[in-house]
Structures are given as structure tokens and as C-alpha cells.
Amino acid sequence: MSEFRPIGFAGVRLDGQFWRERLDTVLTRTIPSQHAKLGEHGILESLELPDPPPPLRNPPNDHGFTVQVFWDSDVGKWIEAASYALSHRRNADIEAKIEAIIDDLEKAQAPDGYLNCWYLDREPQNRWTNLRDNHELYNLGHMLEGAIAYFLATGRRRYLDILERYVALVRETFGPGPNQKHGYCGHQEIELALIRLYHLTGDRRHLDLAAYFIDQRGAQPHYFDAEAIARGENPRDYWAKTYEYSQSHKPVREQDKVVGHAVRAMYMYSAMADLAAELNDSGLKRACETLWKDVIATKIYITSGLGPAAANEGFTEDFDLPNETAYAETCASVALIFWAQRMLHLDLDGKYADVLEQALFNGALTGLSRDGEHYFYSNPLESNGQHTRWAWHNCPCCTMNASRLVASVGGYFLSASANAVAFHLYGGISTAVTLETGVVQFTETSSYPWSGSVKIAVDPERPARFAVKLRVPGWCRDASAAVNGTAVPMTLEHGYLTIDRTWQAGDAVTLELEMPAERIYAHPAVRADSGRVALKRGPLVYCLEHPDHAGHRVQDYRLPRRADLKTATRADLFDGIVTLEAEGIRLEEDDWLDHLYRASPPRTEPATLTAIPYYLWNNRGPGTMLVWVPEG
Amino acid sequence: MSEFRPIGFAGVRLDGQFWRERLDTVLTRTIPSQHAKLGEHGILESLELPDPPPPLRNPPNDHGFTVQVFWDSDVGKWIEAASYALSHRRNADIEAKIEAIIDDLEKAQAPDGYLNCWYLDREPQNRWTNLRDNHELYNLGHMLEGAIAYFLATGRRRYLDILERYVALVRETFGPGPNQKHGYCGHQEIELALIRLYHLTGDRRHLDLAAYFIDQRGAQPHYFDAEAIARGENPRDYWAKTYEYSQSHKPVREQDKVVGHAVRAMYMYSAMADLAAELNDSGLKRACETLWKDVIATKIYITSGLGPAAANEGFTEDFDLPNETAYAETCASVALIFWAQRMLHLDLDGKYADVLEQALFNGALTGLSRDGEHYFYSNPLESNGQHTRWAWHNCPCCTMNASRLVASVGGYFLSASANAVAFHLYGGISTAVTLETGVVQFTETSSYPWSGSVKIAVDPERPARFAVKLRVPGWCRDASAAVNGTAVPMTLEHGYLTIDRTWQAGDAVTLELEMPAERIYAHPAVRADSGRVALKRGPLVYCLEHPDHAGHRVQDYRLPRRADLKTATRADLFDGIVTLEAEGIRLEEDDWLDHLYRASPPRTEPATLTAIPYYLWNNRGPGTMLVWVPEG
């Protein structure tokens, strides 16, 4: 395990234009509008339990939305995101809204601590009868993460107290004891929350319960079988057909292929990595590494999208990565960031940071619109125009995953040990880090990801020896660095340059990362990308989009292999971005009138291809989009 | 309407090796094995009704197969196929098997003529309550086609009598009268069968009932709505979500886009074309032409596969033609042949024969294995190795569509009017045609589709003037013809060369159709075929298959645009076929170990591509297959 630990986002100020804009948008638009949507769709109302509860209330609710068993989680996740926002900027209105929710939850909580509004409102007698499908512990997990975040942001612990009572009930209910249920949630998440609660409180019982849930998963006789039989069902009638769906097909330590529902998988692997670190558990660490290799070598989109199939919101066979029908749920890319960060703290290896960065700038960031109020749930890499952002969703999980990620993004930039600081991401941040030699102020300045020129001012309170580690991204093939203008030898260890010296106030490190526009090729086994190239620059995956192509369908464009790729700074687009441009051809359709096939190739015209960063697509109206551009 | 009418298959002898082999296989292997499968899976048993029927028997049956509402149709379709076989070669064993089935049906028939074994066995009180889903009239249609075929083959009319009693009940039950149901079947088919019964009996009432079903379709108030309400259901809960599924979303004459379940659509369009001809109905003809144009210009695979989506077994949006996930049900290509033949008899236009031929040699023929006992239900144009032929299926519709097509294929070769004969297909047939000038013996000799050299001996009983029309396929760009060695001017009218002269015994026509190997390109809007070519020669679509590529994944091959395409006669493959070969490259994978994406293109090796006809794939074990080959 590495000695590095993340620096909490609250201690990292975002100064750079790129993340400052995203953060401001989330603070001013996303968080308030998400609360409004929770209200409009009856989700907040679902917390207001009648007393006594009616026997059975049927979906859909008065708002026309089907009541979902996971709504508690959405409220919890909004509170988490809103609390991260409060850490940046207190806001009485938002706090009042959270307090009102806590009022409802306080009233709803059963005398024994149980707190699941769906069950309490509808089937109070049926609690804990369908862990496989009904998300009770998942909901608790997100509620708990919200309560922890709210406590950390405001110091108010009423919500946390409520949830700790519920956790105490869960700890009584689940465990290895003879009178306990030997179960675990069909949707992993509680494990991550319990580990956070352990970090907050130091109460080892939370860590043990998380470890119990993880290690009990997949044990035989299978808990979900027994539970189905107890409900009078035949376990073989399970709608998802396989427990791979919830990664409970076998014990987690025996799992070596990434399978099933993508978000469930990523939350579980994140918890496994957390436990590997906390318990110094080399078996869990090894399982994580095996699963990591599998997903990276056979199942990840270039955007870091995960899970090609809508049917299981998850994984299929190796190399099955269709573009137009890619599911690639936003939540899965967000959760991949969680997992990658944890792997990075098991081993400070740039390969994990590379994936973290890739997921952040592409698969995750695309989930939130420029205006901060529209979302992608699934993230295809090609669209014929049907795929558009939505203002809300019957399953709004992705919305709050986007907002909580952006509101806490500073936490991914750097880590510290007793005598070293490691920079993983760049983009303009400032933070004060306490090392064993004292406090050091770091000010990183760059216009990353638009440019690879990075400057870091290092200001210890007094001269002190410590190491500054700088990640040189895996995509970068030519990097140089200097301290106070003197070049540093570029000896990298697992992707990091280490500058170990005595620093004093006024020292400055510069890092130059060459960031050319590049063609990227896929493994030949990825049939969907055959004969195609993706365009990348730095961490950003690019795409062709209709507005930059005069309304032509972008799938009609071809990029010759030898065409020069140029970069262009475009102040007119999205407050300033870098586009990629190339001279290629466009297939003409005007001579295809009444037939689909012919013996002569399509007529072509010279045409300019203009690519924008993938995360920005579909902010200018519906239309075609393409990541993997055919060569030709 | 054209004056041409098909010549029944029973009058056409298949002499050529290509079709003779397929026919012999169907006669000796497919027909008997299909009967055995009907037995093994409880389908024959489902006709043996207990007396009195038990209240409710639940699926699955003792054979482990779920009892299906459409099993009657499979029995009817097998009898139809078996009867076509009997027309070639009587067989006491097969006839005894058919008689045993008729015994069961005779016993099962209700006193009023009703005969649906699923309803009679399970819910006799619920007949005609769910035309939308439960296939009652569809089943009758296939039963009736079987009865007509059996009568024509053997002269035995017991089965036909049974079905005519049932038809009489249907005629009483359905129609415009105040005490009649204004309904129609959710799965079209009865219409085609009624028209056949009209052709057999001359009883106009059968034609009128077919016309009623067609014209009532999609009328408002919608019959399926009313029926659902009567069952206590909300019509909006319809599982298929839209009546486009059954082409009943609006009246058929107003339909201008091909939508919904592909087989339903093709059966309906076939019936519409039949009615257009029988009733000289220009409105129906116009609707057929509009729908034809739509499917040809926007929705057909190069193999003639129809319906890309598994979800509705049918059509999606224009140009949505994915290859690996193509559904392209065998039945739909068979039914397209039915429709194309009817369009061809509305207007003798080679464009219809081109599609008929394309569907026959590719989309339909691929459905039946070389050994005659394995089947494809769906027909993707690319496979990563998972797609294989099956020995049977819970929904065995495609099996008997394949056998009945092959057993009657001679009926598609030529048509006659009073004083002309039109050849649509070639491949070695002989037939005697009665024209107004007397009987003419035609003997067509060729090794088509392997060669385009065709010879037709024309032997009238006495010298007579009539026209011989020869189709010059749309794929052929260089054709020549001669009569008794003297060249004929190649003036084509709608794809046919007309030789109108006085013929005498011993005359011979020769036709030379240039048949080079060709690259075919798809419309640019077909995203799935972007940067790819299909290989064709004559009517045959080719594919790359693993056994000809040393076990390499065929998706790794690339065909340079300028590579020469060679043909090779391969006596060692499938009793002799013509393969296509080209020198290209293969992508190497050995330097892709732990990553999916990289900035350098895959390493390549020179490699030979060998393509076999698509209809022959997956007869040599499971593995990869590819129709659309990437250029490069």
C-alpha cells in the first residue's frame, strides 16, 4: 500500500478557468435545479410519510412518475452534492432545504431506527425481504454519504445521528451471528458509505460491517436464493437471470472477470480497494488488480465509458464495444473515478491516474450539460441524432453523480504522504498541505487541459526537504520539467517524476507536457472500431459534431491516414476551447436515391473535419456525433 | 397488371445440380427430421385433445418446451412442406404421418367447426378474445395452406374439408355485419391462405373475406383496443407499445413506411399484392409500390435480410442496419420472396425478380444447413463466433418456411401468359408450358449461380410464334444472347430481353451473363457499413468465414480497394463452389496485450482473403464470419 492519502476537496481551491466554470455552474445552477426536480417529481414528497401509513399506495404518483424504490438514495446523493457545494460557499437557502428534508426523515424513522421511506410507506412488514432487488442498504449508503458530507460542511449532526441509529439497526440485523441475516445489498454502495463513516468516527465496527458485506457476497448457500424462496418465488425465475448482474455469482476474491451491472461493479471494486488499504488485505488488493487489468484490456471505451449493453446496464463479452448503442452510464464512469483513486492510493502508479483523468474529462464530464441542468444517462460514442440530454429521468442517479463529482473534483488533484506531495491532475489549484516538516502552500497554474504548460509555486513556511511528485500522463510522449528554471532529469517512476530537495518560499516548478493532436487506434478485436480512428489531445477525447459540419451527417466524413491534424484555439466556442481540424473528404448522397447498394463507391468531396471535445457534445441542439472516424 | 402468371412448382423439374441437391436434402432429411422434431417437442401431442378437456394445462409441457399458441401453424406448415415433397415423390410413410395428424385434428374440431388446439385444450371459452396476440387466424392460415397442398399432392380432401368447415365458421364470425366481429388477426397470414383457397375452389367468398381482413386492418375504433378493454385490460399497456408492430396502426392503403414485425409485414404486403391483382385494385397496388420503394431504399440488408431489431423482430429507423446484431429472420426473407413474386406478376419488372433472387440465394437459403437438419432463425451479417445453427427452436416457424420454400422453389423460375414465357431464374429446369399455340417443352441448362452461361432448348409440339422473355439480372452489366447461334440485339424492357419469333423443335437460346466478382458499397447513411465493402458475384453475396482463414478472426482482415478479386472453382468445398479470393492484409494482435487503445495503428501482415457464399456459412463449425469487409 502506498503511503499517499488524498487531500480532501475542501482544502483545494480551484483557480483554473476550466474547473472553476464547471464548479460555478454546479453551485449556481445544478444544485438548486436538482432540488426543484426532486420536488417536481414527487421524490421529496415521498419522504413525507402519512401517520399511520396507508396500506398500499400504487405507482405512478400524482406527478406521473413511477415511484421508485431507490428514491431515498437520490435525496441522499443530492444532499451530498449540495453539502459539497456548501463547503465551497455556504448558502442559507440550500441549508434550509436540507433541514426540511431532515425534518421529514426524522419523522419517518421507525422507533427501532429503520429508515426506508418506500418500505415504511408501502410495505412496512416486508423490510429486508428482497435485498436482491429493492435497494434498502444502497439507499442507506447514499443517505449516509449525504449525512457525512452535510456534517463536514456545516457541523450539524442531526442527519448523521438519524443515520447512525439506522446503521446501528443494520449492524444488529446483518452479520455472521446465528440470529443475524447473512445478507448483503443487491446494489453495492453501503460498503463505501460505511468506510466513510469509519473514517469520520474511527469506529471500527463500521469498517467490519463493510468487510462483512463484501466477503459475504457470493457465499453459498446463496442469500438471494434463500430470500427468493422465503418470498415464495423460484430463484430460477430471477429476472436478471444471473447473479453476475450484482457481482454476487461467486465470492469477490475469486472474481477475475468484470461482469454484470457496471455501476454495481465499480462501487464494489471501490469498496474492495478501500478495504484492501484499511485492512492491508493483499488478497483483496490482488482481486482488484486482476479486475482492473480485465476491464482495461477488454471492456472500456476510449471515453472510459463502461458497460455496452442496455439490457443489464453493464458488461457483455470482451471487446464488445458498439458505439451507437453504447450504454456507458454516466454513473459508471463516475464510479470508475472512485475506484481509480483508491487504486492510486494502493500503489502510486500513473496507470491508475491515467484512467481517473480519462474518466473525469470524458465519460463523467459529458454527463452534465454546459448549462448545468441537462444530463446524459447513457453515453454512446456515435449518434444519428436521436440521443439528447434530458432535464430529468425516472431513474435520476446520474444527475447527482455528476453534481457531487464536480463539486468535489478538487479532491482528485493531489495526494500527500508525511514528506511528499503527488500531483495527479493539473488545471489550476491552490492548497496548503501539512507535511511533517510543516505547512507548504502549493499554487498550480495552467490552462490544462487546453495546454500542457504547468507551473507550480512551492512555498513552505520555512525551508524544508520533501518530495514533489509530478504525474507525467501516459498519453504524453515528451515531457520536460525544471525547478527555478533549471532542467530536472526526466526519470519517471510508475509515471511520476520525483523532485526531492530542500524547498523554500518562492520556488517554482515548471512542467511542459507535449500535447499534440493524435490519432488513436483500437485493438483489432474491437470490431466496432475497425478501420476507424479516434482523435485525442491530452486527456480529451474528441468527436465530430453536426454544428461544425454545416448540418451534414458527420458519419459521412472520412479522415485520410496521412492528413495533418491541426489544433485551433476557438474563443467563439464554449468560452474558449481547442478544436482539432483536418482536411478529409465527405461522402455525397445526392446520387443515392432509390437503392442502398451499388458497385461503385460513394462520390466524395473534399471537406474539413472539425472535432470538439467529446464532453461538450449535444450542447448545441440535437444532431449527429461521431467519436470513431472512418479512415479513407 | 401483367398478363403473366406463375407456373406451379409441380410442373417444373429441377435438373441443375444446385437446386437438385437442396431439394433432395429437403426431401430425404429435412421433411422427416422436422416431423421427428414436432414429435420430440410435444407439438404433435398438443393436437391430441383430451375429452373432455382439462380446465387448464400449464406450460411448459413434459418435453420442457413452453406450449406456444402458434403450434398449430407449425404443424400446418410442415404438412404444406411435406406435401410439396410428395408432389415430387410420393412417400407412404410421410403420408401416414400426415393422416395421423388429420385424425387428431378431426377429433379436435369443435362441432361448429372451430379448430384451434391451444384454445380448445386450455381456454375453450376464450376463443376470439385476443386476436392481437394469440394467432388463431394465423394458425388457420397455415393449416389451410397445408390442407390445400396436401389435396393438390394426393387428391385426398379430408383435411381440406375440415379446414373448409373452420373457414365457414370464420366467415360467419368475422365481417362487416352487425352481429359479426370487425376484427382481423394480429399476425397476418390467413389472407394469403384464403386467396389460395379461392384459387383452388373459385369460391369468391374466400377472396372477399381476405379483402375484408386487409381493409379492416387499422380501422378506427381500433379492434385491438376494444378487444383489450373487453378483456379488462388497458389498451395502453400493450406490450409491443405500438400497433405498428402488426401493421395495424392505420389502414393499409395509407401506409407508406415499412414498420413493425418483419414477417407480419411481408405476409401482409404479399396478400395486398394478391388482392391488387385479383381485384384489379390500383389503390392497393399503389400502396404496395410505395412500401416496396421504402424497404428497398432504406431498410433491406444486402442479403435481403429484413428487420434489424430483435426487440420487435422487425424494422426500426431508415438505414439502421447493424451487422452483428442483425435479426433478419429467415421467415422474413422467405416472405419477401412471396411478396416479390406477386409484385412481379403485377408488373413484369426485373427489379422485383432481382430482389426475389437476392432473397432466395442469400437471406432465405442461409436458413437451412447443408445437412438439411439445422437452421438459422436470425441472420446476422457478422459473427464473433457465438451465432450458430440450431437443431430446433421454441418458435420453429423458420424451419418449415425453409423447407416449404425449397420444396416449391421450381415455382419461382418462370411465368407464362397466353403467348409468352418469362424466365426469371436460371439453374437447370425443364417444364412443359401450354400456350395458346400449344404445348412447348423448355429445357434450361446451366450451372447457375456458379456460371452465367445459360442454354434453353425450346421445343414446341409444332412450330409456333410466341415470345420467350429472359431476365437479365440487375447485377449483370454485360449480357449477350443468341438464338441458334445468331446474336440477338440486347434491347431490354424492364430487365427482360424479349425474343418473339416462330419457334420450332430443336431451337436453342443461349444467354451469357457476365458474372465478375464485385465490390459492393452501401449508401453512406448505412453507418454500419461505413468504410466497408461486400463481395458479390452474380446473385450470391459472399462472406469471409473462419475455416478459410486458418482460424484467424475474419474481422482482422482488410481488403485494399485496388486489390484484384479472383474467382476460384473449389471442388473440395461443399460439392463444388466458386470462391472469391484477394490479396489483402491481416491485423496482428500479438503486440496488444494489456491495452485497448494506442496511438499507432495495428501491425499488419499480407494475407489472402477467401470468401464463400453467405448462404453456406456455419456449416463447418462455429467461428467468425463477416460480410462487410473493411477496406484498408
Q: Using an 8 Å CB-CB cutoff, list chain B residues near A386.
A: 317
Question: Distance between terminal CA atoms of chain B?
Answer: 48
Is B632's CB within 8 Å of A630's CB?
no
Q: Using an 8 Å CB-CB cutoff, list chain A residues near B523.
A: 589, 592, 595-597, 602
| Residue B59 pLDDT level (bands cut at 50, 70, 90) | very low
Which ipTM did the prediction report? 0.94
Q: Which fold has domain A415-513?
A: Maltose phosphorylase, domain 3 (2.60.420)
Question: Distance between terminal CA atoms of chain A?
Answer: 48
Q: Using an 8 Å CB-CB cutoff, list chain A residues near B325.
A: 322, 325
Chain A from 62 to 121: CB within 8 A of any B CB? none
How far is residue A132's CA from residue A125's CA, in Å, rounded to a whole number?
17
Helices (H) and strands (E) in chain A, counts: 15, 24
A317: contact with B, CB 8 A cutoff: yes
Q: What is the DSSP letter of A58?
A: P
How far is residue B590's CA from residue A524's CA, in Å, rounded to a whole number?
10
Question: Ramachandran region of residue A155, left (φ > 0), alpha (ψ -120 to 50) or beta?
Answer: left
Q: What is the pLDDT of residues B279-327, one digit of tens each?
A: 999 999 999 999 999 999 999 999 999 999 999 999 999 999 999 999 9
Inter-CA distances, B1 with A26, B8, B493, Å: 67, 19, 16
Residues belonging to chain B:
632
How far is residue B476's CA from residue B57's CA, in Å, rounded to a whole number?
57
B293: contact with A, CB 8 A cutoff: yes
How far is residue A202's CA from residue A456's CA, in Å, rounded to a whole number?
34
B397 is catalytic: yes
Is A532's CB within 8 Å of B531's CB?
yes
> Would you say A12 and A411 are in contact if contact means Cβ atoms under 8 Å apart?
yes
**Of A399, A398, A394, nearest in space to A372 by CA:** A399
- The stretches in chain A having pLDDT less than 70 are 51-66
Chain A from 533 to 562: CB within 8 A of any B CB? 534, 553, 555-556, 558, 561
How far is residue B121's CA from residue A478's CA, in Å, rounded to a whole number?
77
In this model, does residue B64 exceed pLDDT 90? no
Chain A from 572 to 601: CB within 8 A of any B CB? 587-589, 592-601
pLDDT at residue B212, rounded to an integer: 98
Name residues whose C-beta falls within 8 Å of residue B444's C-beta, 6 or more positions apart in sequence.
B413, B423, B426, B427, B428, B429, B430, B454, B455, B456, B457
In this model, does residue B56 exceed pLDDT 60? no
Residue range(s) in chain A whose domain bears CATH number 2.60.420: 415-513
Percent of chain B with pLDDT over 90: 94
Inter-CA distances, B333 with B3, B265, B361, B402, Å: 26, 11, 10, 10
Q: What is the DSSP letter of A538?
A: T
Helix, strand, coil percentages (3-state) for chain B, rounded to 5, are 40, 20, 40
| Residue B51 pLDDT level (bands cut at 50, 70, 90) | low
Minimal CA separation from B150 to chain A, in Å:
40
How far is residue B299's CA from residue B314's CA, in Å, rounded to a whole number?
10
Rounded to 5 degrees, φ, ψ at B153 are: -80, -35
Minimal CA separation from B405 to chain A, in Å:
26
B contact test, residue of A529, A597, A600, A629 with most B CBs within 10 A: A597
Chain A from 457 to 516: CB within 8 A of any B CB? 477
Is B531's CB within 8 Å of A556's CB?
no
How far is residue A303's CA from residue A539's CA, in Å, rounded to a whole number?
10
Is B534's CB within 8 Å of A587's CB?
no
Is A531's CB within 8 Å of B532's CB?
yes
B351: contact with A, CB 8 A cutoff: no
Which of B313, B329, B357, B545 is catalytic? The answer is: B313
Strand partners, B598: A521
pTM of the model: 0.92
Q: Using an 8 Å CB-CB cutoff, list chain B residues near A316.
A: none
Find the closest chain B residue to A555 by CA distance: B527
**Of A558, A393, A426, nearest in space to A497 by CA:** A426
Is B592's CB within 8 Å of A519's CB?
no
Q: What is the pLDDT of residues B228-244, one digit of tens each?
A: 999 999 999 999 999 99
Q: What is the DSSP string of B66-108?
A: PP-TTHHHHHHHHHHHHHHHHHHS--HHHHHHHHHHHHHHHHH
B contact test, residue of A298, A530, A542, A627 with most B CBs within 10 A: A530
Minimal CA separation from A551 to chain B, in Å:
14
Minimal CA separation from B391 to chain A, in Å:
24
| Residue B206 pLDDT level (bands cut at 50, 70, 90) | very high
CB atoms within 10 A of CB A294: 18
Q: What is the mean pLDDT of residues B52-69?
A: 56
How far is residue B624's CA from residue B388's CA, in Å, rounded to a whole number?
10
Rounded to 5 degrees, φ, ψ at A567 are: -105, 150
Is A531's CB within 8 Å of B300's CB?
no
pLDDT at residue B122, rounded to an integer: 87
Q: What is the DSSP letter of A494?
A: T
Largest CA-CA distance found in chain B, in angstroms, rounded: 78
| CB-nearest partner of A525 from B386, B530, B553 | B553
B384: contact with A, CB 8 A cutoff: yes
> Would you say A444 and A430 are in contact if contact means Cβ atoms under 8 Å apart?
yes
Q: Using an 8 Å CB-CB cutoff, list chain B residues near A549.
A: none
In this model, does residue B67 exceed pLDDT 90? no
Is A521's CB within 8 Å of B300's CB?
no
| Residue B63 pLDDT level (bands cut at 50, 70, 90) | low
A524: contact with B, CB 8 A cutoff: yes
Percent of chain B with pLDDT over 70: 97
How far is residue B108's CA from residue B49's CA, in Å, rounded to a whole number?
6
A302: contact with B, CB 8 A cutoff: yes
Q: What is the DSSP letter of B54?
A: P
pLDDT at residue A92, rounded to an integer: 97
